[in-house]
Structure 1
């Protein structure tokens, strides 16, 4: 889509997504829809940089023609990124140290006002004092909180490699560290609605006396927001960076009933079946009374072992980024569970991507 937005077409494309999701869910399932702002919604953006003579500019490549397209502004990006883009490129064009062999510019912003810019080069920058001085000036002249310089086998930090987002849900503020090059929800407006829906499922259907287990927890996005709805929460994640970020977020949100362990979903299945893991020596699995399981798998959906494991829980909260693999997984899960509620979260307007949530309960 190359950064274009079409607000007049937004509702039509959303309706198509709803129809597609409903066709994949059990008949008569009502889908609650959480729309996105029709423009200025992405908190992440990446652009290649093209050099022609004395001018450099952002480009993207057309998905069909594969041709480069100049991009000066990006109304898909949140307003802070969209406004910064031309100012930053003007500064780059005016400074040889910033411009020389610059290959790509990445933006990571927050609703809370922080901005991280990554400048990626095809030359060494670590020992370049002129580049370092230029970056220091950038931060005083433009609304940039942090700058990262990257080159082959080099990563130069100017302050920090993360921003701190603050999301408001149910009149509560949740704090999340978002690390450069790590997965975070790109549409913070819809992310707030996703957390609100998940909290609503717990509040409406569970009594708050049981425990929650979450697989694929990332930086603790859902676990932290749901912690006050359960007695205790045990969450697992395989990425070392995400686990470290989750620990940061647990402390920042002063959550005391959440434990994060670095394990793959398949290993969790084995551990719950009785297999011993050194990483679980400090975790007394037998002391948990899991009332629900939350899964937020990658696009491939659940593996065979995990798909079977989730059916052992009374309630299942399934967050999906791929409706086709969700439908495949539900074929198995619906043998033991019924869908109570479903939702569509329009994280990615003007694309075919669908983010959805399904809340299930074991059959009577």
Structure 2
């Protein structure tokens, strides 16, 4: 069936309106394609491209031999500049439809298109194959290398091909900084064997195994805009560290110009924003629920010799915010700002809010909820994940009282 692709949609689809609403998978805006309907929903259908009849100038040949088989990438058929334009269009569309906001985007924070990941979580099959799941299945596609991974992680992946991980390993998390670190997920794993296998692959820190058990482990170190940033294996940090540093630098530059007395950092992780922003504020109050990230944060405060950060290990919803706050930095999970946290923000009324989002839909929803008392100063795409449809966003909001 012939389709004309029009508007890009979140999730890697492009809209077509032939015989109802159709979400095209594998098309680019402006293309004419032959596609097959693979799924019918009540309000729309999904179709997969079988042949491109009139290609876009942004269409390229995928660089990876398992693209479309492995579920790790969605946009390898689009040039990198085209990917950024598609994501910007998706962001504008979501803001308009959900947030009722029409806005010109600031310049996007972009990435190297390949070999950017310093953190990866592999699936491990019962047979010991290491890779990612095939789309819509639990079949592991074994990888020799991955074009998204840093060279250091690809070296480990290539060496693991010739090694057999112990029985019981379900997932393998690898991350790299000053050392290569790993965390195993599974049950009844022979840890000594795992240490030996990973040691031969070049991994120097291996934590204890067991689901939900962090064990007594070492940390690896990353450079966060001139600060030491320690991370426990398994603890979250942005896998595209280069773009994260750019994002932190942009936020720090904007905050420094405001000369805040007090900054509040919500969902603070191990201090990704708190630590650099401490240079520009008399006091930083940070809140993080995860105990491992909190432990890393306290170590980061100690090794960097910082004395003006107060870190709380608790749910953001439970924080009792007292006193004046000039700037709030909020970096919530995909669910966005909860209603409880939204009420706290509206009650404390900070002069400025810096909102970092990993979900454009909840970002747009939250901007709409704040629109009565905050003006949207700027929005920009932060492309943490090239070759995928995932979108991160930085929004800067100014209190109406600042006018």
- Are 1:293 and 2:358 an aligned pair? no
Work out whether residues 109 and 380 of structure 2, in 8 Å CA contact, stay in contact via their aligned partners in 1.
yes
- Are 1:74 and 2:153 an aligned pair? no
Q: CA deviation at 1:119?
A: 4.2
Change over 3 Å in CA distance of 1:73–1:262 after alignment to 2: same
Q: CA deviation at 1:179?
A: 1.8
Question: Structure 2 stretches of 5 or more lacking a match?
Answer: 1-69
Q: Deviations over 1:262-310 (max 9, x none)?
A: 2322222xx23xxxxxxxxxxxx44xx4211111111111122322332
Work out whether residues 124 and 152 of structure 1, in 8 Å CA contact, stay in contact via their aligned partners in 2.
no
Q: CA deviation at 1:136?
A: 4.9
- Are 1:353 and 2:390 an aligned pair? yes
Q: Distance in 2 between matches of 1:221 and 1:349?
A: 21
Instruction: Name the counterpart of 1:192.
Output: 245
- Are 1:89 and 2:161 an aligned pair? yes
Question: Structure 1 stretches of 5 or more lacking a match?
Answer: 273-284
- Are 1:38 and 2:113 an aligned pair? yes
Root-mean-square deviation over aligned CA pairs: 2.6
Work out whether residues 168 and 189 of structure 2, in 8 Å CA contact, stay in contact via their aligned partners in 1.
no
- Are 1:339 and 2:376 an aligned pair? yes
Instruction: Name the counterpart of 1:176.
Output: 229
Q: Distance in 2 between matches of 1:195 and 1:290?
A: 20
1:46-65 matched pairs, under 5 angstroms: 46-50=121-125, 56-64=128-136
- Are 1:109 and 2:179 an aligned pair? no
Instruction: Name the counterpart of 2:273.
Output: 222
Q: CA deviation at 1:326?
A: 1.0
Work out whether residues 182 and 234 of structure 2, in 8 Å CA contact, stay in contact via their aligned partners in 1.
no
Q: CA deviation at 1:237?
A: 1.5
Instruction: Name the counterpart of 1:276.
Output: none
Q: CA deviation at 1:152?
A: 6.5
Q: CA deviation at 1:195?
A: 0.3
Instruction: Name the counterpart of 1:257.
Output: 308
Among 81, 84, 92, the residue aligned to 1:22: 92
Q: TM-score, normalised by structure 1?
A: 0.80
Instruction: Name the counterpart of 2:29.
Output: none
Among 201, 207, 210, the residue aligned to 2:259: 207
User: Secondary structure in 1 aligned to 2:250?
Assistant: helix
Among 195, 212, 235, the residue aligned to 1:135: 195
Q: TM-score, normalised by structure 2?
A: 0.73
Q: Distance in 2 between matches of 1:220 and 1:45?
A: 21
Q: Distance in 2 between matches of 1:335 and 1:256?
A: 36
Q: Distance in 2 between matches of 1:154 and 1:266?
A: 25
Q: Distance in 2 between matches of 1:258 and 1:69?
A: 45
User: Secondary structure in 2 aligned to 1:40?
Assistant: coil
Q: CA deviation at 1:8?
A: 5.8
Q: Which structure's relative contact order is higher, taking Cα pairs within 8 Å and 6+ residues apart?
A: 1
Q: CA deviation at 1:84?
A: 1.8
Q: Distance in 2 between matches of 1:153 and 1:33?
A: 37
Q: Deviations over 1:137-189 (max 9, x none)?
A: 853x54322123524787776xx34321113x3xxx12212222222111101
Q: Distance in 2 between matches of 1:85 and 1:232?
A: 43
Question: Which structure features the higher share of helix residues?
Answer: 1
User: Secondary structure in 2 aligned to 1:349?
Assistant: coil
Change over 3 Å in CA distance of 1:315–1:147 after alignment to 2: same
Q: CA deviation at 1:333?
A: 1.1
